């Protein structure tokens, strides 16, 4: 299944056009949510948003979404997936990473690209709540790396999942991180992410004085420097390169034993195409799809600003056909 052509403006490179339009302009459905606040095993707080309408059946298929960097249930891809899943009668929810979704967390920690322990707790919590339902998980960008890493670490131990999908994943965080911290990526996207992340770091510092070096964080010029000053030390990594190398999902892909769709566009401006896994290097359970067009977490179709229906149709079709 190949995305239909996208009629992007000629003045903006295709990958950037798709990415920017998806985040700001593309037609996205309105989704109503019901929020629950969940307590983590270490007594922290996360928000889970359930899309309406919710099915009455306890055995309705379930879709869990793990969002990307600074994402939420309001992200364009989340709303598109939640709308398509509920239209099919599925139970669909976005479980936010710590500090996301407008809910500050309690502990002096945040979230990061390799937090597979968090994915384990989320998936198994949902599985226990609806033990008779077919459970599916989707991860986008950072959330996709977390999910792919967990799938590989667990191997056959994550049989609670029927199938999974990972979208626009930076499997090699070193390659993606260096790419995102330079050039046009740093100028356009890095500044956007830094504003939100610096604000959260300042709020965490107020709640937990001395937990981070706030002055160093304020001096950060790109995401590489931010990860070196905040994400890495806060979560026990020596520095940014240790964090990126340790958190990358690429070394774990060989262990995946659950049917998994891995969808990455070759013109993704964040992720160098050469860093993506080739179909021959992954187990038979992983279906690698690398369309030429799609940008980052976009895959828009039609005339500008475009429609966001490709990813929901491809992912739910993969799940409904029994993966």
Active site (catalytic) residues: 141, 268, 296
Can you say whether residue 24 is alpha, beta or left, with left for phi > 0 and alpha for psi between -120 and 50 degrees? alpha
Cis before 304 (ω within 30): no
Secondary structure class of 179 (helix, strand, coil): helix
Which residues contact residue 128 at a Cβ distance below 8 angstroms, ignoring those fewer than 6 apart? Answer: none
Return d(Cα 264, Cα 313) in angstroms, integer. 15
Which residues contact residue 100 at a Cβ distance below 8 angstroms, ignoring those fewer than 6 apart? Answer: 47, 67, 70, 71, 72, 111
Secondary structure class of 3 (helix, strand, coil): coil
Radius of gyration of the chain (CA): 18
Cis before 154 (ω within 30): no
Which residues contact residue 244 at a Cβ distance below 8 angstroms, ignoring those fewer than 6 apart? Answer: 113, 173, 174, 177, 227
Q: Where are the alpha helices (DSSP H) in the chain?
A: 14-24, 76-87, 116-129, 142-154, 173-180, 183-185, 191-207, 214-218, 223-226, 232-234, 240-247, 310-320
Place of tokens 């690429």: 250
Q: Record the tokens describing residue 76, joined without a space.
A: 């364009």
Q: Record the tokens describing residue 4, joined without a space.
A: 């239909």
Torsion from C-alpha of 238, 244, 250, 256, nearest 10 degrees: 70
């Amino acid at each position: 299944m190949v995305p239909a052509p996208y009629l992007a403006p000629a003045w903006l490179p295709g990958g950037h056009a798709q990415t920017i339009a998806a985040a700001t302009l593309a037609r996205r459905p309105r989704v109503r949510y019901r929020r629950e606040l969940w307590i983590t095993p270490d007594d922290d707080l996360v928000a889970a948003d359930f899309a309406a309408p919710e099915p009455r059946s306890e055995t309705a298929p379930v879709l869990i979404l793990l969002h990307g960097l600074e994402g939420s249930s309001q992200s364009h891809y989340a709303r598109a997936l939640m709308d398509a899943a509920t239209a099919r009668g599925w139970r669909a929810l976005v479980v936010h990473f710590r500090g996301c979704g407008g809910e500050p967390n309690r502990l002096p920690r945040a979230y990061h690209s390799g937090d597979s322990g968090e994915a384990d707790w989320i998936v198994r919590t949902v599985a226990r709540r609806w033990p008779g339902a077919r459970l599916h998980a989707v991860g986008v960008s950072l959330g996709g790396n977390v999910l792919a890493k967990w799938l590989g670490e667990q191997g056959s131990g994550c049989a609670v999942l029927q199938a999974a999908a990972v979208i626009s994943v930076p499997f090699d965080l070193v390659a993606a991180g260096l790419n995102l911290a330079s050039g046009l990526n740093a100028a356009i996207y890095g500044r956007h992410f830094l504003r939100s992340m610096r604000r959260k770091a300042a709020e965490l510092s107020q709640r937990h004085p001395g937990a981070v070096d706030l002055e160093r964080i304020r001096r950060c010029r790109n995401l590489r420097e931010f990860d070196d000053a905040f994400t890495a030390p806060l979560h026990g990594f020596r520095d940014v390169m240790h964090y990126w190398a340790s958190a990358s999902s690429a070394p774990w892909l060989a262990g995946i034993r659950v049917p998994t769709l891995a969808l990455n566009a070759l013109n993704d401006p964040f992720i160098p195409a050469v860093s993506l896994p080739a179909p021959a290097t992954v187990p038979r359970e992983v279906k690698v799809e690398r369309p030429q067009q799609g940008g980052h977490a976009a895959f828009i179709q039609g005339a500008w600003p475009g429609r966001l229906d490709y990813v929901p149709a491809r992912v739910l079709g993969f799940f409904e056909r029994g993966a």
